[in-house]
Every structure is written in C-alpha cells, then in structure tokens.
Amino acid sequence: MRDSKISRKTNETDIQLYLSLDGTGKSNIDTGCGFLNHMLTLFSKHARFDLNVKCVGDTDVDYHHTTEDIAICLGKAFSEAIGDKKGILRYADIILPMDEALIMCALDISGRGGLYYNLEIPAYKVGDFDTELCEEFMRAFVRESGITLHIRQLSGTNSHHIIEGTFKALGRVLSKGVSIDEKFKDEIPSTKGVI
C-alpha cells in the first residue's frame, strides 16, 4: 500500500494528514475553511486517493498559512507514498471542463518541482477564500512533491468553476501519473534509472 502520514506543527498551523494513493476516493477533511474543504474533498474523489486532513490554523488572520501548510504536507505525503516510483506512468494530462471553465493540466512526476500556472480568476474571493491562494497551494505542493505541473485556463468566467476545475484536473492527472504500468512495473521510468 502506497500511503503516508504527515504531522506538522508550527506557530501558525497544526496539521495531521493521511494520504493513500491506492484508495477509493474517501476523504475526511477539516481545514477550518469551507471552500478549501470542498476543493480537497473533490480532489480526493477525482484522484481516487484516500485523504484525511485535520488542520487547526490561524484563520483569524486569513487562510494563507492554512492553505500553504496543508499543501506542504500533501506534497510531502505524496512524495513519501510514491516511494522509488518504480512502474509508474509518470506523465499525465487532461483538458477538463467545469461548465464554462476549461482547464488544461499536465504533469511529469520528475523529481524536479516546478509550477507553470496561468489562471485568470476574476473574483478576489470565493466565499471567504482568497482566490490567489489557489496558486500558493499549487506552488507549495509541487515544491514538496517534486512534480513538474502545468496548469492553463483555456476558458472560464466563474471563479468557483475555474478553481474547482483546477483541483479536479489535478486529481485526475495525479491518479493517472502514479498508476502502475504492469508491463514495466519493475522499471524506473527514466533513462537515468532514478527519478
């Protein structure tokens, strides 16, 4: 079973996170932010990863530390759970529609964290969630997980739909990228022999 448990406590957040890459999409999410709960729940469902997150953060300030620190923990858990990367497909992409929004997401589980992000989210907030935190989440996640991630908005005017489409697309491509290619299950998908 490819899974990981991460605990992280700072002066700003206290996080317990569990991730299973070979799950069924079950989740139990409590971040203190309703919109972030929603995004992580649908991420888990579309990735078919089991995900539990409990975060107590300084939400009296805003959701910045909570969002970034959860992404740090998720990235660390992902990196730990995937192990030596033997047999994984490694690459994945999708163009995902969410009503009027259309999101392209492509990744390489490369060991080299890099975010190439181009979303134009019209609203500054969805509920009480600052929409700029979507980029902060993705940046912290790729840095800790060692993933090269491209996200492009091809169309969209509704801020909720744009962000939701992004989290769903991320779940879908991660699920595909970590899936095992049975023909090459004992091989590292790199000419270097290591990722």
Which secondary structure element, helix H or strand E, spans residue 129, and what is its range?
strand 129-130
Q: Is the pLDDT of residue 73 over 80?
A: yes
Tokens of 136: 């902060």
Instruction: Encode pLDDT of 33-68 as tens digits.
Output: 999 999 999 999 999 999 999 999 999 999 999 999
pTM confidence score: 0.96
**Domain spanning 3-184 has what CATH number?**
3.30.230.40
Measuring CA to CA, how many Å separate 72 from each of 68, 108, 143, 144?
6, 18, 8, 6
Tokens of 71: 């992404």
Residue 57's pLDDT is what? 97
Q: Per DSSP, what are the bridge partners of residue 51?
A: 19, 27
Residue 190's pLDDT is what? 79
- Using DSSP's 3-state secondary structure scheme, residue 150 falls into strand
Query: Distance between CA atoms of 145 and 78, rounded to whole angstroms?
Result: 6
Section 136-141 average pLDDT: 98
Q: Is the pLDDT of residue 195 over 80?
A: no
Mean of all residue pLDDT scores within the chain: 96
Binned at pLDDT 50, 70 and 90, residue 180 comes out as very high
